[in-house]
Amino acid sequence: MINVTKTYLPDFEKYQNYLKSIWENGWITNNGELVRELEQKLADYFQSKHCVLVSNGTIALQLALKLYNIKGEVITTPYSYVATTNAILWENTTPVFADINPKTGCLDASKIEELITENTQAIMPVHVYGLPCEIEKIEEIAQKHNLKVIYDAAHAFGVTYKNKPVVNYGNLSTLSFHATKLFHTVEGGAIITNNDEDAKQLKLLRAFGHINDDYYGLGINAKMSELHAAMGLTILDDMPKIIEARKKDYHLYKKHLNGLTIQFFEIPENTKYNYSYFPVLFENEQTVLKIKEALYKEGVNARRYFYPSLNTLPQVEYQSCPISEDIAKRVLCLPHFYGNNERIITKITNIIKALL
């Protein structure tokens, strides 16, 4: 089966060398040497002051909300993976959904202000598929209304906007390093911040709120292990070739699908993209289901990323977001991963062409 994504596995010998160092040190968790090394290397990669590694991308969002003591309403997008909404709900805060820009799939900044109330405390946009949000407009609104901006940048590893890594915008950004992501640590995540005090507090929050016998407040176990950090260190040097290969495949897909009755999301101007997904918008849901089934019969597992629109989930109170609801029904992500090839892409696109 050709799945929608495939975990990138780096050079085994290189990874094994890191494992040997772990065995020699006998230090496998609790802010070990490799965790600290990866934090520094990622901070350098993102041109940021601090990278705080955590155990997964969802808890990164939860820690961000906890850091800023968010207890009221959070304006967010209905078009993302469910983790974005669940993190807000899990922290007993209220998601308020702003509809999306149909060109990018990201939260529509022009829909934010009308949703702000006296209970609004933060905005949590998502750089969907790694496509940057309307950063300047969101920043302007946040400053005007004294709101925190927590970017869910789970898809945006390596993306820059106006020559600046997108993770450096907002009050902070969170990342997911799950095995399905462009860069991964098997399981893991990170919080990127340029604020010294925020970084200090986040490191306390991820480690039960204490350092040795000194306790500073509430915390939880969100630490990354040395084994996971070793995977990240092994992969980090490979990122240029990974992104370049995906870029080539991305444009190959577009070449094969050119001229059909489908739409693609737009890469915003001034963006250096990471080509992390290949989503296609079809005319209607019936076409999506027909193509998905036909692909599956031929051993291709395309996925409906992201379906359903999060404002329709049973755990939230329904709020109308017609653009998100429409796009969620019409989107299909085609297999896109390092190691894909023209033969696979041709097979997939020929099936789609035959049905359209």
Domains and CATH numbers, the chain: 2-236 (3.40.640.10), 239-355 (3.90.1150.10)
What does the pLDDT read at residue 233? 98
Distance CA 94, CA 91 (A): 9
Distance CA 154, CA 64 (A): 14
Tell me how far CA of residue 23 lies from CA of 45, 56, 242, in angstroms: 27, 24, 29
Residue 191, φ and ψ in degrees, nearest 5: -125, 130
The reported pTM is 0.97
What does the pLDDT read at residue 43? 98
Helix boundaries (H) for the chain: 12-25, 33-45, 57-67, 82-90, 135-145, 196-205, 226-236, 239-257, 285-297, 322-330, 342-355
Q: Where is 333: in which H helix or E strand?
A: strand 331-333
Residue 351's CB is within 10 A of a number of other CB atoms, namely 17
Give average pLDDT by consecutive 10-residue segment, the chain, 356 residues. 97 98 97 98 98 98 98 98 98 98 98 98 98 98 98 98 98 98 98 98 97 93 98 98 98 96 97 98 98 98 98 97 98 98 97 96
For the chain, the C-alpha Rg in angstroms (whole number) is 20
Q: At what angle do helices 12-25 and 33-45 cross, to 10 degrees?
A: 130
Sheet hosting strand 271-272, strand order edge to edge: 164-165, 160-161, 271-272
What does the pLDDT read at residue 65? 98
Closest CA to 107 of 133, 84, 81, 87: 133
What are the respective helix, strand and coil percentages of the chain, to the nearest 5?
40, 15, 40
Residue 226 DSSP symbol: H
Residue 326, φ and ψ in degrees, nearest 5: -70, -50
What does the pLDDT read at residue 166? 98
